Amino acid sequence: MSSLDWAPLKSIIDNNQSFLISSHVRPDADALGSELGMAAILRHFGKQVTIVNATAPPANLQFLNSDQQVLKLNEDVKQADLPAVDVYIVVDTSAWQQLGAMAEVIQSAGPKRVVIDHHVSSDNMGATEFKDTTAAATGELIFEAAEYLGVEFDSVTASALYAAIATDTGWFRFPSTSANTMRIGAALMELGASPHELFNYLNEQRSLARVRLGGRVLGRIETSEDGRLAWIYADAVDLKETGAVPSDTESLVNECLTIAGSEAAFIAVQQPSGQVKVSLRCRPPHNVAAVAEQFNGGGHKLASGATVGGPVEEAVRCMKKAFLKMLE
């Protein structure tokens, strides 16, 4: 169990009627599952809830949003049409930069803010914070909040939260996985989450383009002389020639860490904007959050991200230098 005191959340829920929930750009399963879990808690108490993110979920996660509850700003709802709400709840990030265009919406609105998160990197968002960096996923914290508040999830929400926790723990195997994580996983199964179906939805519905991109990108993996650092990249030509999209590179960086003797890895992916999204990974005792923070990014000690300027070769060169320094 986290040591968080959920009493302030109860009082915020009791004393307010309308809520807007948001999470980070390129929402992953933990972002979406946590948003849907939080929305279910609030609806249980008869509150009005809107969920809006700056960017849409990737295609492989759309199944979590089958009832289209999670809206995309300026596509499903214009900024001017957003409801004026009593409280803004940010889940699965504490970094303004990670909120994309939602940062401005939340900064310019009323002062009542809540953050529920498990990331190390953090801005002062002027919020009531429920933050536990030892939690394996934000979904784990949402489940604990629900337990405290006496809310039981239906099977659809339980599945979204299972997806949140399973993906953030690499299917319950990363060092962040605790006995409590397993307990929550079991409880979500009892509420109707089906691990094998979720694994299939999340990992076995890939496009041919994605698998081809993986072959191409991993085929030219490079390592430092001592083999402790491995890196890969995907540029616009790779995406065009395989027909893949930037999110198809997700999880490729983890393959780099399967090499014996590897201690750290990164992937640099050119985005349609020309910027380069870098995903950083390492094994203990290293800390890639500190590397990501040098580039205005952040995340966790073992898994972080940053968006840097292009071109890809320059991003790779800068990252390589920063990683080699970390490994010294």
Examine residue 299 and tell whether it contacts ligand AMP (CB under 6 A): yes
Q: Is 234 in the site for ligand AMP (CB under 6 A)?
A: no
Instruction: To the nearest 10°, report the CA torsion of 85, 86, 91, 96.
Output: 80
Q: What is the DSSP letter of 275?
A: -
Least separation in angstroms between CB 104 and ligand AMP: 17
Closer CB to ligand AMP, 107 or 155, in the complex: 107
Q: Which of 23, 98, 177, 287 binds ligand AMP (CB under 6 A)?
A: 98
Strands 303-308, 298-299: pairing is antiparallel
Cα–Cα distance measured from residue 186 to residue 182, given in angstroms and rounded to the nearest whole number: 6
Smallest gap, in angstroms, from Cβ of residue 85 to ligand AMP?
A: 24
304 in contact with ligand AMP (CB under 6 A): yes
Name residues contacting ligand AMP, limited to 109-128 (CB under 6 A): 119, 121
Site for ligand AMP contains 57 (CB under 6 A)? no
279 binds ligand AMP (CB under 6 A): yes
Beta bridge partners of residue 48, listed in sequence order = 18
Judged by CB under 6 A, the stretch of 4-12, 176-184, 229-237, 293-301 that binds ligand AMP is 293-301
Measure the CA angle with vertex 225, ends 222 and 228; round to 5°: 75
The piece of 67-75, 205-213, 305-313, 318-326 that touches ligand AMP (CB under 6 A) is: 305-313
The DSSP code for 202 is: H
The answer to whether 95 contacts ligand AMP (rule: CB under 6 A) is yes
Instruction: Out of 24, 113, 228, 286, point to the residue binding ligand AMP (CB under 6 A).
Output: 24
Asked if 90 interacts with ligand AMP (CB under 6 A), we say no
Pairing of strands 87-91, 70-72: unpaired
DSSP annotation of 62: G
- The minimum distance between CB 152 and ligand AMP, in angstroms, equals 28
- Burial tier of 178 (Cβ tally within 10 Å: 0-12, 13-18, 19+): middle
Peptide bond into 285 cis (omega under 30): yes
Least distance CB 46 / ligand AMP (angstroms): 31
Using alpha carbons, list the distances in angstroms from residue 208 to 23, 204, 214: 30, 11, 10
User: From the list 21, 265, 303, 312, which residue makes contact with ligand AMP (rule: CB under 6 A)?
Assistant: 303
Give CA–CA dist 162/232, Å, rounded: 30
Pick the stretch among 42-50, 92-100, 187-195, 311-319 that binds ligand AMP (CB under 6 A). Answer: 92-100
Q: Does 305 bind ligand AMP (CB under 6 A)?
A: yes
Q: Interface with ligand AMP by CB under 6 A: which range of 83-91, 204-212, 228-236, 301-309?
A: 301-309
Q: Which residue of 60, 210, 297, 308 would you call a contact of ligand AMP, by CB under 6 A? A: 297
- Least Å distance, CB 225 to ligand AMP, is 26
Q: Tell me the two tokens of residue 214.
A: 């993986």
Sole window of 70-78, 219-227, 297-305, 309-317 interacting with ligand AMP (rule: CB under 6 A): 297-305
Sheet-wide strand order for 113-117: 70-72, 48-53, 18-22, 87-91, 113-117, 128-131
Helices (H), 128-235: 138-149, 155-168, 179-190, 195-203, 208-219
Instruction: Give the alpha-carbon dihedral of 100, 101, 103, 109, to 10 degrees.
Output: -170
Q: Does residue number 32 form part of the binding site for ligand AMP (CB under 6 A)?
A: no
Residues in the interface with ligand AMP (CB under 6 A) total 17
Site of interaction with ligand AMP (CB under 6 A): 24, 93, 95, 97-98, 119, 121, 279, 297-300, 303-307
